[in-house]
A and B are shown apart, each in its own frame.
Chain A
Amino acid sequence: MPSSTRIECDVLVIGGGMAGATAALAAREAGARVVLARKAPGSTGLSGGAISVAEDPASMPDTPFAARSGVVESARRIAATRPGHPYRVLRGRLDRLWNAVEFATGQLSSVLAPPSGRNRWLLTPFGHAHAAAACARTMASGDLAEVRGTLVVCGFEGHLGWDPWLVASGAERVRSLGAPEARAVLLDLFRWEDGALARPFDLARMLEAPGAAEEAGRMLRKALPRGAAAAVFPPVLGLDPEARVPERIAAEAGIPVAEMLSDLPSVPGLRLHRAIEARLAAAGVEVLQGEVRAASGPDVPAAVGGREVAARNWVLASGRFVGGGIERRGALMESVLGLPVLASEGPFADPSVRFAGRPPASLTLRDSRSPQPLLAAGLRVDEELHPLDAEGRTIHERIFAAGAVVGGHDPASDGTGMGVAIFTGWLAGRAAAGRAP
């Protein structure tokens, strides 16, 4: 191979989602030369705008928002109660969790609001209040724990994509926990066919147009009930943060305007993805497009998209099933290095249980609401984030794992996905850069 295609660096990060980006930026900050290889845009682009780190597992359903534990304390409780969870593995280092969250949100401050240490409670299109340690800037003023007065939940007269009554019910259901009264209103927007049938990205672009956000703001002002303190919109308030759509609506309406969290496709997810791209470029991380498969680890240069990358340390941040870091083709396996899948949760948190080859139904529970071991499957790691083999031995001193490729948590049911990505990414990035934790 000609030498021009060869890159020498300190750290190769595999995976471009939140974990990989945090690892790359943390390693870069520690002075390392970093290459980030990714086969596709990270699954962070599919996220809904919430940075969920930990919800207090000890709180009863009727515990008011304000009386719940802070984020780090909640993570400690998860570590104490969930045997296979990455927070449990890292319980001796949880005092640095908040440093990691502040680092990641600070790096992405163009789109993320600074976290307060407490969870924000944000409405979703399903009419649910979701806890998040941090969130998109466009969402912060919709925090149910902070709104004093009536929260106006807006829908669009011309578009059936969101039902403001359903969304508002999410606040009504947690009224006794400290949520505000919520009132649904329909704004007469997108009435004609081009708007009525548009997908979220198109709606977001339409609202960026000169005058469009202002018109929405004027409609909102007319629709405001007495005592209105803030308004929540479907998550389509502009593709580009520079277009300042929420601010323009707020200026006309005279109250703070927020987006609700997004399901798929996600406009806030796209904004976050773009912010990550921009930050990686600005920080001097070299991003390579290409899949790394059947690799041998840092002792042999990796082939990435026609280039050869020789790196002293590797950070595996390849995600789980969506990211492709963990696969099941008859049996569960890690896909970049072929590492064993040994961590999960519930009965499979016990490292002596070898479950990778078991039939899928035996790794799931009938009630979909239960945490599902199959969906929590991933690498078993030690406190240094080195992947472990079946005997509990470190597989390679210069390989670190971060994010969803690490098993033991089912983010959909425990709400720690972004927290694990950020914390493990930050720790792994620093360790790979050779900086002591």
Chain B
Amino acid sequence: MAGAASQETFDVVVLGGGVNGAGVARDCAMRGLSVLLLEKQDLASGASGASSGMIHGGIRYMTSDRRVTALASRDAGYIRRIAPHLTFRIPFLIPFATHREEATLLDRLTWYATEVYVGTYDLFQPLKGGKPSARLTAEELYAVEPSLRPGLHGAVALDEWGIDGQRLCLLNALSAAAHGAEVRTWTEATGIVREAGRVAGVRWRDALTGEHGEARAGVVVNATGGWSPRWGKSNGVVVPMRPGKGVHLSLDRRHGNYGIICTAVDGRQMFLMPHEMESIIGTTDDDYYGDPDDLDATAEEVEYLVEGVASLVPSVRQSRITRAWWGVRTTIYEYGVEEDDLSRDHRILDHAAEGAAGLLSFVGGKLASYRAQSEDVTDRAVALLGKAVLPCRTHEEPLPGGDEVPVPSELAERHGVAEAIAARLVYRHGSLAREVLRVADDDPRMKLVVCRDEGIIAAEVAWIARHERVRRLQDLRRRCRLAVGGCGGLDCARPAAQVAARELGWSADQLRAELADLLEVGWRERRPVLDGWQLAEEELLRAVHRGLGGL
């Protein structure tokens, strides 16, 4: 197929398979527009996949921008409605700390202010189905979270929602496809086609097959996130942005059942929170003007994060850090403002004045508001196209699998799998967990547990390979966290690759190349955090994959 060029016509071409691009593609498709979504790597391989995995209501932005908080809270409620299986409660603690023996008047005032502030946030909680905050005494605080350092004076507890941001992104793309959109991953938009001061479409190239072609469209939406400034530059338009690098660390297990808000050495707020099977430490926020394809976490970033958490949870220093991961935020450009104070609002840029009418760039925003942001962009695209379309329904129609949340114990009994496996399947697939297990009903081999960290069985790998747009083995990192957990692929990578290869018709050589690629991605995330027991894991991983596998 290499060398073949094709030409097709759509109403809208969306560039970027992050949550915003996928969200726009879904909204456009649901309103009846013909849509092409292009993503140069995999869905959620940028900032959407490297978010903190929360649809929080934006308590941080309450003073600077209440509109952002209200929007985020209301939309968090909508996400809960359309993907209930993918969300989970994370209770957060904001401990009252002081650096002296006795709390000063200023300390007490600060705590009081925090209580009032969180109390105000309670007004937004009903929008997202959250519970009201609670004031904990020191005794109550240590009862719920004994790992906190001594000498704290109590805390405020508040309620937020966690989510799998990668699957949220995927489900939007799958829903778009179900409504007729064409979704192409590992396919880069190599340039825009201009005609008479207008954008007439894009040229694209498939990174895996070499196929290329031209897709014509009335509107092109640039949702390439951190890649936008560079992409704009090479296409003759300016996309102003303050790209911010954010680094997270993962621990090998849940450190506790509460998220803990900590203060970093420079006074910034950060957190340690339980998230699915692990705990996450986050996050840094630093301007980053380099190539978003060439990011690594630095030793300083890792230490900054660990030190910030250790100030309240000293035992985190004994934890095993399994990986560092990172993304580039796309905050709106402002000069003379600290990174943290930049607005998380979003903006749509129309490039008509630059001779590119019909090209819209999407800047800023946050995961929790992706749907509302996408609705805005779709409204603008519809206006430009001047077409009669259906109303927006993305807040009403469930995402795939979101129509119902099956009870894991019932599934486990009906299909003869462990309840823990069924629970993970329900979490990832919602009502579609039944379909996944049906694969195993016909073939008992498919109940083979491939990954014990994440509870992945062979049937899930096969089902994902069949239905979830897998083109490379590393896509499974984002579909079901294959080789992402504590074992780094020691147990799971080869058997999962074998199952995926059968489904996707890979040759043995292709399988080995995909396996090597998968392991290389994991290595990049582990390099900055190789310490303690993680080094033992690395030694085993290398012995097996490099030594025995010759990969």
Contact = CB atoms under 8 A, between A and B. Distances in A.
Interface of A: 46, 48, 52, 124-130, 158-163, 165-166, 168-169, 172-173, 192-193, 196-197, 261, 263-264, 320-322, 324, 327-330, 359-362, 364, 366-369, 372, 374-375, 410-413, 415, 417
Contacts of A329: 531-532
A328 B535 contact: yes
Interface of B: 296-299, 302, 416, 444-449, 458, 490-491, 494-495, 498-499, 501, 507-509, 511-512, 515, 519-520, 523-524, 527-532, 535-536, 538-540, 542-551
A46 B540 contact: yes
Contacts of B539: 320-322, 375, 412
15 contacts: A126-B494, A130-B548, A166-B501, A263-B544, A264-B491, A320-B539, A321-B538, A321-B539, A322-B539, A327-B535, A360-B529, A361-B296, A361-B527, A368-B542, A412-B547
A198 B50 CA distance: 36
B323 to A, nearest CB: 12
Contact of B550 (A126, A196, A330, A417): A126
Contacts of B445: 158-160, 196-197
Given A412-B542, A413-B542, A192 B548 contact: no
A322 B2 CA distance: 47
Given A160-B499, A361-B527, A411-B543, A125 B494 contact: yes
A360 B299 contact: yes
A48 B519 CA distance: 20
A327 B544 CA distance: 20
B527 A128 contact: no
A127 B523 CA distance: 21
B481 to A, nearest CB: 20
A197 B531 contact: no
A239 B509 CA distance: 32
B495 A128 contact: no
B487 to A, nearest CB: 9
A162 to B, nearest CB: 8
Nearest to A129: B550
Which applies to chain A's interface (DSSP): helix, strand, loop or mixed? loop
B498 A166 contact: yes
Contacts of B523: 368
A374 B529 CA distance: 12
Given A48-B544, A162-B498, 9 more contacts: A128-B548, A166-B508, A166-B511, A197-B445, A324-B536, A361-B296, A361-B297, A368-B546, A375-B539
A158 B444 CA distance: 8
Contacts of B444: 158, 192-193, 196-197
A330 B531 contact: yes
Contacts of A48: 544, 548
Contacts of A374: 530, 535
Contacts of A165: 508
Given A160-B458, A197-B449, A327-B532, A126 B549 contact: yes
A359 B542 contact: no
A327 B520 CA distance: 24
B422 to A, nearest CB: 15
B455 to A, nearest CB: 14
A125 B538 CA distance: 20
Interface pairs A-B: 7 shortest CB-CB? A359-B299, A169-B508, A128-B550, A126-B549, A412-B542, A368-B523, A360-B530
A412 B490 CA distance: 14
A124 B512 CA distance: 12
Contacts of B531: 328-330, 360
Nearest to B512: A127
Contacts of A129: 550
A261 B548 contact: yes
Nearest to B502: A163
Contacts of A163: 498, 501, 511
Contacts of B545: 126, 412
B511 to A, nearest CB: 6
Contacts of B524: 366
B530 A364 contact: yes
A116 B532 CA distance: 40
Nearest to B443: A196
A372 B530 CA distance: 12
A261 B548 CA distance: 8
Contacts of A172: 508
B547 A415 contact: yes
A369 B546 contact: yes
Nearest to B542: A412
A322 B536 contact: yes
Given A126-B512, A169-B509, A263-B544, A328 B530 contact: yes
A64 to B, nearest CB: 18
A321 B538 CA distance: 9
B447 A197 contact: yes
B535 A126 contact: no
Nearest to B491: A264
Contacts of B535: 321, 327-328, 374-375
B429 to A, nearest CB: 20
Contacts of A158: 444-445
Given A48-B548, A126-B551, A166-B511, A359 B528 contact: yes
Nearest to B417: A197
A413 B546 contact: yes
A52 B446 CA distance: 35
**Which of the listed residues A263, A320, A374, A411 has the most CB atoms from chain B within 10 Å of its own CB?**
A263
Given A169-B509, A321-B538, A368 B519 contact: yes
Nearest to B457: A197
Contacts of B297: 361
